Structure 1
Amino acid sequence: MLAVDVQNLTIQYGKLEAVKGISLQIPPGEVFGFIGPNGAGKSSTIRVLATLQPNYRGVARVMELNIRSKPQLVREQIGYVPDFFGVYEDLTVREYLHFFAAAYRLSPQKRKAVVEDVLQLTDLTGKIDSQVDSLSRGMKQRLSLARVLLHDPAVLLLDEPASGLDPRARIEMRELLKALKEMGKTIIISSHILHELAQLCTRIGIIEAGRMVAQGSVAEIYQRLGVLKIVHVQVAFQTPDLIEQLRQLEGVTQVDDQVDRISIRFQEGSLEVEDLHDFIHKQGARIRMFQPEVMDMETAFMKLTEGQTA
C-alpha cells in the first residue's frame, strides 16, 4: 500500500498552469519534504491531497482512496495544517479541542482522554485553560497540530508549519515532528527552512515552476549533483607518504596538506566515509580528528533551480 499516490497531477488557474504533471509515490511512515520557492506549486499540490482543490487533472490517492470519488473517506485519513492556521480566539484550548473532537465524531466518553493525549504530545497540557488568543504563535501552531491529531490520521499534510516561528519554536516544532515520525505517521511537509527538512525527511522533492526537478533521498540528490564531500583529518604519527597514498585512493579528487589538518575531497558515491577512515588507520596513522562535511540543502536547492515561478 502507498500512503500517497499522485500520478501526472496538473492544476490550472485560468490560463496559469500552476502544477505541471507532478508524480509522487510515498509509502507509509515516510517523511516527504517539499522544497520550492513561492509560486512553485507546493501548496496547490497539498491542497489536492487535502481534498480542497477539486479542479485538477491526473490521479491522486491517499491510503488507496481516490480523492476525487471518495473525499469524505480521505478526510478521515488525513490531518491538514495550512500555511495560515485559523483558530477560534474566543475559546480556551480545552473548548477548542473538545469542539473539534466532537466535529471528528469522537464519542463523549473518549474525548477527554484523547484531548489530554494530544495536549501531552504537543506539550500544551499547562495551557489547557488558557485563551487561544493569549498563546504565542508557536503555541498556536502546535495547537493546530494537536487539532488534526485528534482523530489519529494516518497522513499529515503540513504546509509551512514553521513559517514565522522564532528559533526556539522551530526547534520545538522539529522535535514534535520527529516524535510523530517515530509513531509511524506519514508526513508531507513543505518548508523554506531547507536544512531542517534535510535533517527530518527520509526523502525530498524539489519543485520549481510547477515541475519536480529532483526527487529522492538527500544522499541521492547530492550524488546526482556530483557533490564533492570534504573530510578534515588530524593525525598523529603521519607517515611521509600518507598524502600521496590518499591522492592515489579511488574517488579522491584533491588532498590539501594544511598546517593543522589534511583536507580530503572525494566524489559522493565513489568512496564511503567509513572506508576512508579505515584506510587512514591502516597506514599506521593515529586519528585525532575526523570531521566530514557536505554541501548543505540550500546549496543543492540553488544548483537545481533557476528562480522561476509558474
Structure 2
Amino acid sequence: MNTTPSFAIPGSGANGNLTSASNATGGVHHGETDCIELRRLHRFFGKTKAVNDISFTVARGHVFGYIGPNGAGKTTSMRILATLDLPSYGDAFVDGFSVVNDPELVRRRLGFMPDSFGTYRDVNCKEYLDFFARANGLVGRERNQRLDWVLDFTGTKGMAEKPIRGLSKGMKQRLCLGRALIHDPSVMILDEPAAGLDPRARIELRKMIRELADRGKTVLISSHILTELAEMCDSVGIIEQGSLLATGSVEQIQRQRETHRELSIRLLDRVSECAEDISTRESVEKMIIDGECLRFEFEGDAGDQADLVAWIVSRGYRVVEVSSHKKSLEDVFLQVTEGLVQ
C-alpha cells in the first residue's frame, strides 16, 4: 500500500529535491502544457498487438476522448497510463514522469476510474472514501477536508452513511469518481464512466468532468456515446486494432475526412432549370429536387462551396438559402474505422 503523502510537490523526487522529467525518466520534458504523453507505445500479448505504436499528447486542463470499438486497445492503453500494466516497448508520461521508471510519482498525480470496480457491501460511502484517502497517505485535517469536498462535488454527501449495496448504478459511478479524486490528482483516466447510466446521470457526469477540466485537471476518457464526447472533449483519438487512426479536435478530424458534404439550396424560382445546370458540374452527385430545394452531394471544401454558390448566382438564379450538412463524430468514426477486431 502506498503511504507516501499524495500532496507531494509536483516535479519533486523521492528525496524532496526538485527534478526535471529528463532527470527522473531519462527522457525529454515537453513543457508544462503536455500533461499526458504516449510515446511510441506498444503492448503485445503473444501475437496480438493490443497497442501498436501509439503516440499522442494531452494538454493540461483538456479533455481527451479515446474512441474505438471493443478490443481496440483503449483499456490496455489506459491501464499502462495508470501503472497497472507495462508496455512491451515505448513509454507513457504523466506530468513528465515515466510510467515505467517512476510509477510511484505517476500514481500520486493520477486518478483512475476503471470500467468496473469492486466495492464492500457492508461499508458506507464515507467509510469507502475514507479508506482510499488513508491508502493515499492523507491524514488529519487534510483527509477530512478532502472527504467533505469529494462528497459534496460528486453529490453523494446526502448518502454518506448509506451502505454501498443500496446505491443505484449512477450513484456507484459517482462514488467511483470520488475515489479517483480523493487525493486531488492532476490527471484523471476514466474508462467508460457513462456505461449503463440513464440520460440525467450522463448529463450530470458530463458536467462534473467539464468542471474538473475547468479546474485545471487533465482528463482522458473513453466512451461509446460519441455524441457526448463531441460535446465534452477538446480533442479525440480514434483507435482500431491497436493503431491510432486519427487524432485532433473534432472539427479538425471532420475537415480532414470530409471529402463530400451534403448541400441544400433553396431557390425562389426556376428550380428544375437550376438542377440541370448544377448537375453538369463534376463536383456534384445525387441531385434531388425537393419542392423549392435542391439537395445533392458536393465534393470540395468550404472555399469550393462558396465558388459554387457564386456561380449559381452569376447565372441569374435567385438563391434564398444555402445549408451544409456537417458530419457528426459518429459519421467520422464510421468513415475512419472498418469495424475490425483482434
Question: Which TM-score band applies after superposition, normalised by the shorter structure?
Answer: 0.7 to 0.9
CA positional deviation for 1:307: 1.3
- Distance in 1 (alpha carbons) for counterparts of 2:265 and 2:211: 35
1:203 is aligned, of 232, 235, 240, to 235
CA contact 1:85–1:141 (8 Å) conserved in 2: no
- Distance in 2 (alpha carbons) for counterparts of 1:128 and 1:272: 59
- Distance in 2 (alpha carbons) for counterparts of 1:143 and 1:133: 12
- Distance in 2 (alpha carbons) for counterparts of 1:126 and 1:273: 55
SS in 1 for 2:302: coil
- Structure 2: unaligned runs, 5 residues or longer: 1-30, 309-316
2:140 is equivalent to residue 108 of structure 1: yes
- Deviations, residues 84-126 of structure 1 (Å, cap 9, x unaligned): 1222221111111111111111121122222121122112121
CA contact 2:41–2:87 (8 Å) conserved in 1: no
Larger Rg: 2
What's the counterpart of residue 279 of structure 1? none
CA contact 1:227–1:295 (8 Å) conserved in 2: no
- One-letter amino acid of the counterpart of residue 164, structure 2: V
What's the counterpart of residue 72 of structure 2? 40
- Distance in 1 (alpha carbons) for counterparts of 2:300 and 2:229: 20
| Cα distance change, pair 4–266 in 1 and its aligned pair in 2 (3 A) | same
Identity in percent: 38
Matches within 5 A, 1:1-310: 1=31, 2-230=34-262, 258-259=290-291, 269-271=301-303, 293-310=325-342
Tell me the TM-score normalized by structure 1.
0.84
| Cα distance change, pair 173–284 in 1 and its aligned pair in 2 (3 A) | same
CA positional deviation for 1:14: 2.2
| Cα distance change, pair 151–292 in 1 and its aligned pair in 2 (3 A) | farther
- Distance in 1 (alpha carbons) for counterparts of 2:204 and 2:124: 22
| Cα distance change, pair 139–259 in 1 and its aligned pair in 2 (3 A) | same
| Cα distance change, pair 291–162 in 1 and its aligned pair in 2 (3 A) | farther
Question: Quick check: 24-33 or 34-43, which moved more?
Answer: 24-33
- One-letter amino acid of the counterpart of residue 54, structure 2: I
Number of matched residues? Answer: 303
- Distance in 2 (alpha carbons) for counterparts of 1:119 and 1:75: 22
- Distance in 1 (alpha carbons) for counterparts of 2:225 and 2:144: 35
| Cα distance change, pair 168–15 in 1 and its aligned pair in 2 (3 A) | same
- Deviations, residues 173-195 of structure 1 (Å, cap 9, x unaligned): 11221211222211111111111
CA positional deviation for 1:269: 4.9
- Distance in 1 (alpha carbons) for counterparts of 2:304 and 2:178: 41
| Cα distance change, pair 293–134 in 1 and its aligned pair in 2 (3 A) | farther
Cα RMSD for the two superposed structures = 3.3
- Distance in 2 (alpha carbons) for counterparts of 1:84 and 1:63: 26
- Distance in 1 (alpha carbons) for counterparts of 2:171 and 2:213: 20
- Distance in 2 (alpha carbons) for counterparts of 1:268 and 1:139: 48
- One-letter amino acid of the counterpart of residue 98, structure 2: N
- Distance in 1 (alpha carbons) for counterparts of 2:236 and 2:137: 34
- One-letter amino acid of the counterpart of residue 72, structure 1: E
- One-letter amino acid of the counterpart of residue 87, structure 1: T
- One-letter amino acid of the counterpart of residue 216, structure 2: G
- Distance in 2 (alpha carbons) for counterparts of 1:257 and 1:190: 41
- Deviations, residues 201-241 of structure 1 (Å, cap 9, x unaligned): 11111111110111111111111212545576879xx5989
CA positional deviation for 1:294: 1.9
- One-letter amino acid of the counterpart of residue 191, structure 1: S
CA positional deviation for 1:46: 0.5
- Structure 1: unaligned runs, 5 residues or longer: 277-282
